[in-house]
């Protein structure tokens, strides 16, 4: 086909036979037409003189609503329209007159109603003399191409707008060098655009984040990841990068959205903190503490070191909260948290377990002695006075200690045992530190049950008094045979009232089982008042029936004696029962008197004036000096039964017993021995001149009925 087409030009010169020539030309034309209709371009030829279309391929003809035949011979204006013809006139003119090619683009409103963007080329057709014969028209439909370009342009414009409008930082770089950045990014980093352009993007990223960023750049990955950028002033800013590969400014570039995530991180940290910390004190909460405790336990197990866990509970915190309000309660808790933290050393840790409970884990230390020292330090610092809500209060802690590994294999067990030790500390009078011991669990439980029950017992008056006589030794001397002596009638010196708790389940409980607890809880005050009233009421009954003339001896607790209204209480109790002072004996211990010697002397003096007998109980166990004793209005000494127990075999006990008797007599005091169980003890006591005795040898503490019966028996036997 090409050959034919080319030959067609050459054969113009040798047109011998017009008919043959015409046939040949027709054939050539047919070939040309075939070619012309095959190429993806619209083609036409217009002759110069008349501007009529001499030839067009199908594409061209159809573009303007003709076919290849009907278009031939039509003037340009008729084909493309007058307006379009005028529009292209400069190009047509150039091709025809200047005989040079021309190219232009124009929109062609097609016969099919579609407007196309046409790229038009006009080529001059010139004869051998250089005369313009016509022009070839070649039209390529570039609608697609132009639309794509426009879309790209639009998207770039959009991107540019977006970059400016975005609140997030956006930066472009090519091959790692910054090519563009938007105002938010400049604001985030503190640079101007000029300062950033052309610099390596990595320069603005924290060094430790370089490997990751460089790796992602090199891989041209489309991803997002957290990183750290550097502000001009050096501040490190945590950010999220969202990276894409994009066309920008006519090039393939990397776009990075830089999202400031400081707020997000702070919120995350806050949530994390809230989940693991107590909001009030800022200390790790139970969850966090136990997690760390378990980690430490695992480490200690591996290294063979030991740990100490302390369970700290504030004493009477509920009372503070209830009486002074929650604001004061909060201050107390915060202060306690700070004080605990400050009392510890690096490596120790502290957490709030809940309520008024704190946990402390001590880093490995040299032995229980050192742990006990820390305990003492905590007792002192936490218990120091503090100002809250306009008042100064002191809140002591009770501390329980469990050691790892010996006291517990798991965190739960260790905490439980420290808790039990803490309960023992509370039961022992609070404000103290106790180490866990096996068997504590049961004891703590029993104590707890007792404690919660004791208040009820006070309310329900579940107490009874037992009575035990004290008899002059001279009379008791002959009592071994059960008969009086010629020296005189056996004399009842006093009868001691001893309290028992009639526990509904456990039966009669001895004072040792609940008095210490009652003292610690201040329940001893109502119990003591009950005992005093009951004992005096009994004494009044016995007097009225003529059974007893000796005083009833009542034991007093330190707390009762400390109260300022102590003398008034006794006076009121005497008045209420109708008993007079001579019917009452009170038993005090040396310790109670030594705490406030002057107040004690005044109070006792007042009682003496009322006729009350005053006895020093458990004498010999305290440290009363002769001089102090001399100043106190005391009538009797009760030698502690610890000395009596050693009689007569133990020499030291013997010596002390003798000294007590001599000292007592020197001060004109009667000396009573308590806890006398054997005849040998009685003989020994008689030998050193002891005045009276009390003990199982004579009688056990008895119920009132038994006591009165015993009394009648004695009266019958020896006229007591």
Give every CB contact of residue 650 below 8 A, 6+ residues apart in sequence: none
Determine the Cα–Cα distance for residues 440 and 310; give it in Å rounded to an integer. 16
Binding partner at 80 among ligand C2E, Mg ion, none, C-beta below 5 to 8 Å by kind:
none
- β-pairing, 613-619 vs 584-589, is parallel
Determine the Cα–Cα distance for residues 120 and 138; give it in Å rounded to an integer. 6
Question: What character string, x for contact with ligand C2E (CB under 6 A) and - otherwise, covers 460-499?
Answer: --------x-----------------------------xx
Question: What character string, x for contact with Mg ion (CB under 5 A) and - otherwise, covers 587-626?
Answer: x-----------------------------xx--------
In the window 171-200, what residues touch ligand C2E (CB under 6 A)?
A: none
Residue 536, judged by CB atoms within 10 A of its CB (0-12, 13-18, 19+), counts as buried
To the nearest whole angstrom, how small is the minimum distance from the Cβ of residue 494 to ligand C2E? 12
| Consecutive H or E run containing 443 | helix 440-460
163 HSE (CA, 13 A, CB side): 19
Question: What character string, x for contact with ligand C2E (CB under 6 A) and - otherwise, covers 701-720?
Answer: x-------------------
Using CB under 5 A, which of 182, 281, 555, 714 touches Mg ion? 555
| Count of residues of this chain found to bind ligand C2E when the rule CB under 6 A is applied | 24
Q: Would you count residue 590 as binding ligand C2E (CB under 6 A)?
A: no
To the nearest whole angstrom, how small is the minimum distance from the Cβ of residue 497 to ligand C2E? 6
Residue 20, judged by CB atoms within 10 A of its CB (0-12, 13-18, 19+), counts as exposed
Q: Would you count residue 538 as binding ligand C2E (CB under 6 A)?
A: no
Q: Would you count residue 585 as binding ligand C2E (CB under 6 A)?
A: no
To the nearest whole angstrom, how small is the minimum distance from the Cβ of residue 534 to ligand C2E? 9
Q: Are 208 and 200 in contact (CB under 8 A)?
A: no
What DSSP character marks residue 285? -
To the nearest whole angstrom, how small is the minimum distance from the Cβ of residue 644 to Mg ion? 10
Binding partner at 468 among ligand C2E, Mg ion, none, C-beta below 5 to 8 Å by kind:
ligand C2E
Q: Are 139 and 132 in contact (CB under 8 A)?
A: no
Between 335 and 555, name the residue whose CB sits nearer to ligand C2E.
555
Long-range contacts of 142-147 (CB under 8 A, 24+ apart): 142/105, 142/117, 142/118, 143/116, 143/117, 145/117, 146/105, 146/117, 147/117
In the window 114-153, what residues touch ligand C2E (CB under 6 A)?
A: none
Using CB under 6 A, which of 447, 479, 618, 670 touches ligand C2E? 618
Using CB under 6 A, which of 273, 591, 696, 712 touches ligand C2E? 696
Between 79 and 692, name the residue whose CB sits nearer to Mg ion.
692
To the nearest whole angstrom, how small is the minimum distance from the Cβ of residue 513 to ligand C2E? 9
| Consecutive H or E run containing 311 | strand 307-314
Using CB under 6 A, which of 510, 655, 659, 687 touches ligand C2E? 510
Determine the Cα–Cα distance for residues 262 and 419; give it in Å rounded to an integer. 42
To the nearest whole angstrom, how small is the minimum distance from the Cβ of residue 466 to ligand C2E? 7
Long-range contacts of 54-61 (CB under 8 A, 24+ apart): 54/134, 55/29, 57/33, 60/137, 60/139
Binding window for Mg ion (CB under 5 A); candidates: 138-146, 292-300, 547-555, 623-631: 547-555
Binding window for ligand C2E (CB under 6 A); candidates: 330-338, 374-382, 473-481, 553-561: 553-561
Tell whether omega for the bond before 681 is within 30 degrees of 0, i.e. cis. Answer: no
Binding window for ligand C2E (CB under 6 A); candidates: 89-97, 146-154, 317-325, 510-518: 510-518
Between 255 and 497, name the residue whose CB sits nearer to ligand C2E.
497
Helices (H), 70-182: 76-80, 82-93, 143-165
Structure tokens at 397: 């802690």
Q: Would you count residue 587 as binding ligand C2E (CB under 6 A)?
A: yes
Determine the Cα–Cα distance for residues 686 and 657; give it in Å rounded to an integer. 11
SS3 628: helix
Tell whether omega for the bond before 405 is within 30 degrees of 0, i.e. cis. Answer: yes
433 HSE (CA, 13 A, CB side): 22
To the nearest whole angstrom, how small is the minimum distance from the Cβ of residue 489 to Mg ion? 25
SS3 488: strand
Between 351 and 528, name the residue whose CB sits nearer to ligand C2E.
528
Pick from 417, 422, 464, 295: nearest CA to 363 = 295
Pick from 489, 468, 470, 492: nearest CA to 478 = 489
To the nearest whole angstrom, how small is the minimum distance from the Cβ of residue 470 to ligand C2E? 10
Between 510 and 576, name the residue whose CB sits nearer to ligand C2E.
510
Give every CB contact of residue 165 below 8 A, 6+ residues apart in sequence: none
Q: Are 425 and 398 in contact (CB under 8 A)?
A: yes
Q: Would you count residue 512 as binding ligand C2E (CB under 6 A)?
A: yes
Using CB under 6 A, which of 515, 612, 669, 671 touches ligand C2E? 515
To the nearest whole angstrom, how small is the minimum distance from the Cβ of residue 553 to Mg ion? 7
To the nearest whole angstrom, how small is the minimum distance from the Cβ of residue 533 to Mg ion? 18
Give every CB contact of residue 580 below 8 A, 6+ residues apart in sequence: 574, 611
Using CB under 6 A, which of 617, 620, 634, 672 touches ligand C2E? 617
To the nearest whole angstrom, how small is the minimum distance from the Cβ of residue 593 to Mg ion? 15
Binding partner at 182 among Mg ion, ligand C2E, none, C-beta below 5 to 8 Å by kind:
none
Binding partner at 227 among Mg ion, ligand C2E, none, C-beta below 5 to 8 Å by kind:
none
Cβ neighbours, 10 Å, residue 356:
21
What DSSP character marks residue 277? B
Give every CB contact of residue 178 below 8 A, 6+ residues apart in sequence: 171, 172, 196, 197, 198, 199, 200, 201
SS3 308: strand
Between 138 and 464, name the residue whose CB sits nearer to ligand C2E.
464
Binding partner at 499 among ligand C2E, Mg ion, none, C-beta below 5 to 8 Å by kind:
ligand C2E
To the nearest whole angstrom, how small is the minimum distance from the Cβ of residue 498 to ligand C2E? 4
To the nearest whole angstrom, how small is the minimum distance from the Cβ of residue 418 to ligand C2E? 32
Binding window for ligand C2E (CB under 6 A); candidates: 98-106, 284-292, 296-304, 671-679: 671-679
Between 397 and 490, name the residue whose CB sits nearer to ligand C2E.
490
| Consecutive H or E run containing 43 | strand 42-47
Q: Which residues bind Mg ion (CB under 5 A)?
A: 555, 587, 617-618
Q: Which residues bind ligand C2E (CB under 6 A)?
A: 468, 498-499, 510-512, 515, 528, 531, 555-557, 587, 617-618, 641, 674-677, 694-696, 701
């Amino acid at each position: 086909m090409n050959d034919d087409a080319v030959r067609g030009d050459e054969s113009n010169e040798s047109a011998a036979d017009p008919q043959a020539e015409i046939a040949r030309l027709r054939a050539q034309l047919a070939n040309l037409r075939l070619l012309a209709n095959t190429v993806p371009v619209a083609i036409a030829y217009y002759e110069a003189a008349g501007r009529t279309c001499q030839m067009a391929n199908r594409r061209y003809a159809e573009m303007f609503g003709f076919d290849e035949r009907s278009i031939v011979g039509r003037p340009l204006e008729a084909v493309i329209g007058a307006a379009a013809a005028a529009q292209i006139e400069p190009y047509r003119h150039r091709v025809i007159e200047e005989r040079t090619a021309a190219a232009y683009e124009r929109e062609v409103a097609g016969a099919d109603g579609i407007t196309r963007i046409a790229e038009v080329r006009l080529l001059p057709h010139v004869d051998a003399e250089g005369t313009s014969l016509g022009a070839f028209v070649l039209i390529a439909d570039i609608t697609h191409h132009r639309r794509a370009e426009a879309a790209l342009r639009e998207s770039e414009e959009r991107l540019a707008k977006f970059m400016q409008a975005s609140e997030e930082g956006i930066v472009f770089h090519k091959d790692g060098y910054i090519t563009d950045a938007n105002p938010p990014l400049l604001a985030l980093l503190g640079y101007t655009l000029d300062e950033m352009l052309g610099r390596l993007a990595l320069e603005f990223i924290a060094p430790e984040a370089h490997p990751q960023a460089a790796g992602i750049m090199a891989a041209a990955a489309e991803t997002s990841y957290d990183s750290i950028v550097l502000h001009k002033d050096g501040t490190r800013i945590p950010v999220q990068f969202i990276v894409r590969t994009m066309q920008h400014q006519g090039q393939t570039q990397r776009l990075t959205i830089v999202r400031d995530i400081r707020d997000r991180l702070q919120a995350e940290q806050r949530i994390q903190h809230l989940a693991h910390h107590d909001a009030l004190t800022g200390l790790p909460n139970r969850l966090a503490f136990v997690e760390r405790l378990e980690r430490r336990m695992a480490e200690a197990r591996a290294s063979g070191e030991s740990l100490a866990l302390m369970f700290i509970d504030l004493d009477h915190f509920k009372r503070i909260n209830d009486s002074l309000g929650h604001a004061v309660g909060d201050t107390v808790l915060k202060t306690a948290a700070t004080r605990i933290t400050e009392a510890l050393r690096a490596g120790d840790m502290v957490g709030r377990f809940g309520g008024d409970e704190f946990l402390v884990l001590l880093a490995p230390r040299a032995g229980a002695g050192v742990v006990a020292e820390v305990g003492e330090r905590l007792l002192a610092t936490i218990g120091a006075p503090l100002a809250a809500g306009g008042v100064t209060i002191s809140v002591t802690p009770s501390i329980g200690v469990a050691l790892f590994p010996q006291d517990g294999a798991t965190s739960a067990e260790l905490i439980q045992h420290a808790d039990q030790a803490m309960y023992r500390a509370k039961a022992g009078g609070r404000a103290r530190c106790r180490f866990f011991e096996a068997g504590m669990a049961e004891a703590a439980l029993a104590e707890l049950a007792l404690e919660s029950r004791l208040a009820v017992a006070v309310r329900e008056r579940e107490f009874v008094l037992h009575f035990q006589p004290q008899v002059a030794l001279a009379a008791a001397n002959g009592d071994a045979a059960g008969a009086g002596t010629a020296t005189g009638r056996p004399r009842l010196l006093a009868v001691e009232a001893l309290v028992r708790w009639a526990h509904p389940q456990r039966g009669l409980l001895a004072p040792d089982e609940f008095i210490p607890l009652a003292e610690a809880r201040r329940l001893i005050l109502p119990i003591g008042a009950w005992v005093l009233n009951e004992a005096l009421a009994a004494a009044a009954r016995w007097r009225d029936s003529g059974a007893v003339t000796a005083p009833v001896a009542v034991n007093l607790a330190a707390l009762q004696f400390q109260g300022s209204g102590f003398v008034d209480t006794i006076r009121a109790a005497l008045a209420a029962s109708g008993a007079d002072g001579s019917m009452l004996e009170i038993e005090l211990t040396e310790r109670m008197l030594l705490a406030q010697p002057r107040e004690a002397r005044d109070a006792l003096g007042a009682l003496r004036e009322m006729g009350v007998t005053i006895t020093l109980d458990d004498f010999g166990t305290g440290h009363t000096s002769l001089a102090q004793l001399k100043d106190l209005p005391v009538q009797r000494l009760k030698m502690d039964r610890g000395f009596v127990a050693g009689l007569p075999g133990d020499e030291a006990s013997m010596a002390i017993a003798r000294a007590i008797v001599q000292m007592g007599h020197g001060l004109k005091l009667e000396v009573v021995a308590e806890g006398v169980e054997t005849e040998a003890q009685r003989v020994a006591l008689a030998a050193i001149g002891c005045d009276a005795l009390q003990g199982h040898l004579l009688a056990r503490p008895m119920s009132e009925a038994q006591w009165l019966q015993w009394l009648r028996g004695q009266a019958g036997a020896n006229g007591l």
